[in-house]
């Protein structure tokens, strides 16, 4: 609960006379032991989260926000944020990455998407990292934000959705399998090397969806992922597009997937087969190469491992590679995300051809699925993942949402296997919507 008003702030403080004012103070560590439990009951577009294994940042309210569209949407957001910070009044008593004013962002996959790109600066942010906890309050006023005006308490458990129903989205599974077969033919003909095709699933419920319910379930079951919520987009991504922290840039690339069975011995055998799979290794190589090439102009001393490792998640396993480099320019986390998007992990190779195939075969607007999602602080440090294993609450009907999942298609792809893989990737959100009982 907070005593700060929400929803009545100017959307563009850069153009207003009053600067954005931020204050960060340390908190007793025990106050940050359950970040998601601090989120108050608010609408889906008024809550923010970036949490992994109990650490991260959550926020609520809107001190400021900005939305951009078109090919330069991320550059416009970066410029808006830089301008906002240039005039901000900041008092930071903690001085860690993520303290001071931060903005949560989610970006549309396609430049043409009406979903656009949005940065949200919450009025209240609580963060936890490395045993330290902090509270940041933000206002657009000449009076400094007063943390004492915010009451931090664990909120009552959110209620789960009622009467959850799922329906095919733009394509049925059979139609989508046909799209995969079409893509394989084009790859075999030499038109492109790889394309990532996604499908959607429509969800309807009785009553307004409480994003907090989904966040609790996802964090409980997929604690190795980054559990996020930004402007109505909510999910649990295993893929860190980019982290910028004190001059070091890192990116985790995932491509190549196999479903887990729940039998540990069998899953170990499956992991070994994934690590030897020529189809999956080829898909992974394209994705790693695209990330390394995009980061190279911004970095020196890059480390690109030659062999991927197998990342074990609750429901699937992925081939994974961590790419790292030393930043040599002043590119912010958001600018680096713009350089990386879209990577081969969500688009394909070569990018322009794959993007055109996606637009032709998917028969849908991805919205902000497969786009960058994360946060940025006043210094330009931050973390952006790829919005995977996610859904978006409808802006016009909060009882409805769309879920998304995609698969990398290469020459050896089998349509029926890709349908099964996409279904496995829909499991986290489906389970979160239909789970019962307290987290």
| DSSP characters over 87-131 | T-EEEESS-STT-SSEEEEEE-SSTT-TT-EEEEE-SEEEEEETT
β-bridge partners, 134: 26, 127
CA distance 188 to 370: 25
The sign one gets for the Cα dihedral 289, 291, 292, 298 is positive
Measured distance CA(105)–CA(75) in Å, rounded: 13
- Which residues lie below 8 Å from residue 266, measured CB to CB, with a gap of 6+? none
Torsion of CA 183, 186, 192, 195, to 10 degrees: 0
Indicate which residues carry an active-site annotation: 194, 239
Nearest one of 156, 74, 13 to 342, comparing CA atoms: 74
Residue 305, preceding bond cis, omega within 30 degrees?
no
Alpha carbons within 13 angstroms on the beta-carbon side of residue 123 total 27
φ and ψ of 414, to 5 deg: -110, 120
End-to-end Cα, the chain, rounded Å = 20
Element housing 265 (H / E):
helix 264-276
CB 329 within 8 A of CB 300: no
Distance of CA 146 to the CA centre of its chain: 30
């Amino acid at each position: 609960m907070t005593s700060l008003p929400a929803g009545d702030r100017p959307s563009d403080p850069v153009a207003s006379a009053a600067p954005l004012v931020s204050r960060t103070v340390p908190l007793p560590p025990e106050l940050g032991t359950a970040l998601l439990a601090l989120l108050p009951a608010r609408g889906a577009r008024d809550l923010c989260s970036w949490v992994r294994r109990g650490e991260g940042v959550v926020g609520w309210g809107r001190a400021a926000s900005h939305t951009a569209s078109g090919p330069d949407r991320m550059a416009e957001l970066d410029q808006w944020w830089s301008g906002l910070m240039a005039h901000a009044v900041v008092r930071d008593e903690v001085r860690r990455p993520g303290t001071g004013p931060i903005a949560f962002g989610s970006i549309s996959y396609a430049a043409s998407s009406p979903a656009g790109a949005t940065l949200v600066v919450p009025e209240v942010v609580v963060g936890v990292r490395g045993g330290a906890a902090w509270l940041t309050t933000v206002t657009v006023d000449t009076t400094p934000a007063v943390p004492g005006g915010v009451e931090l308490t664990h909120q009552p458990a959110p209620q789960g959705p009622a009467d959850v129903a799922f329906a095919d989205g733009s394509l049925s599974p059979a139609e989508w399998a046909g799209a995969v077969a079409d893509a394989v033919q084009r790859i075999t003909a030499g038109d492109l090397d790889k394309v990532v095709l996604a499908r959607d699933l429509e969800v309807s419920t009785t009553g307004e969806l409480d994003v907090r319910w989904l966040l609790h379930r996802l964090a409980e079951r997929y604690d190795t992922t980054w559990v996020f919520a930004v402007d109505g987009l909510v999910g649990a991504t295993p893929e860190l597009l980019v982290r910028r922290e004190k001059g070091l840039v890192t990116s985790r690339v995932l491509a190549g997937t196999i479903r887990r069975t729940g039998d540990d011995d069998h899953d170990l055998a499956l992991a070994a087969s994934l690590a030897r799979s020529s189809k999956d290794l080829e898909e992974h190589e394209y994705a790693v190469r695209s990330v390394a090439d995009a980061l190279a102009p911004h970095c020196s001393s890059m480390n690109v491992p030659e062999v991927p490792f197998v990342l074990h998640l609750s429901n699937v396993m992925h081939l994974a590679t961590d790419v790292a480099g030393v930043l040599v320019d002043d590119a912010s986390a958001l600018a680096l995300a713009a350089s990386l998007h879209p990577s081969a992990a969500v688009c394909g190779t070569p990018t322009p051809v794959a993007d055109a195939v996606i637009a032709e075969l998917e028969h849908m607007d991805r919205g902000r699925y497969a786009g960058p999602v994360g946060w940025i602080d006043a210094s330009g440090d931050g973390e952006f993942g790829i919005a995977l294993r996610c859904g978006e609450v409808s802006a016009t009907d909060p009882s409805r949402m769309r879920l998304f999942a995609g698969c990398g298609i290469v020459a050896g792809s089998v349509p029926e296997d890709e349908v099964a893989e996409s279904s496995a990737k829909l499991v986290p959100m489906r389970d979160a919507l239909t789970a019962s009982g307290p987290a």
